[in-house]
């Protein structure tokens, strides 16, 4: 157990639907990062939050949004789902001294999303 908790582990939903993926960072970590891994693709950065504020944004689709709450957990909302959104979605967190990349990130076990 890495200390980063992601729920649910698996999600199957239909095209056009909306889902919410949840991440609780490791205790004491202020930064949360979301990554997407599609078939045959590497880990693609979506977005970073630090203590409730957005810090960096990748090629995140407009149909996707995220937020980090006061208790530091984060949610990734995916709407108007398409078949191509099927992927493994990872959340990672980092300690305050490491949020600018000077320390390793701790990954959760991921949420596998299947859109049918």
- Closest approach of another protein to the CB of residue 56, in Å: 4
- Closest approach of another protein to the CB of residue 18, in Å: 25
6 prior amide bond cis, ω within 30: no
- Closest approach of another protein to the CB of residue 44, in Å: 8
Residues 79-108 contacting another protein, CB under 8 A: 90, 94, 98-108
Where helices occur in the chain by DSSP H, the ranges are: none
As given in the structure block, the two tokens for residue 9 are 């582990």
Residues 54-83 contacting another protein, CB under 8 A: 55-56, 58
Torsion of CA 79, 82, 84, 90, to 10 degrees: 20
């Amino acid at each position: 157990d890495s200390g980063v908790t992601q729920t649910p582990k698996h999600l199957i939903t239909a095209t056009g639907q909306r889902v919410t993926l949840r991440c609780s960072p490791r205790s004491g970590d202020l930064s949360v990062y979301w990554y997407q891994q599609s078939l045959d693709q590497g880990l693609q950065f979506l977005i970073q939050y630090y203590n409730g504020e957005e810090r960096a944004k990748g090629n995140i689709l407009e149909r996707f949004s995220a937020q980090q709450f006061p208790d530091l957990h984060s949610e990734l909302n995916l709407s108007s789902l398409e078949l191509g959104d099927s992927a493994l979605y990872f959340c990672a967190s980092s300690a305050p001294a490491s949020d600018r990349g000077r320390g390793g990130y701790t990954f959760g076990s991921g949420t596998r999303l299947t859109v049918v």
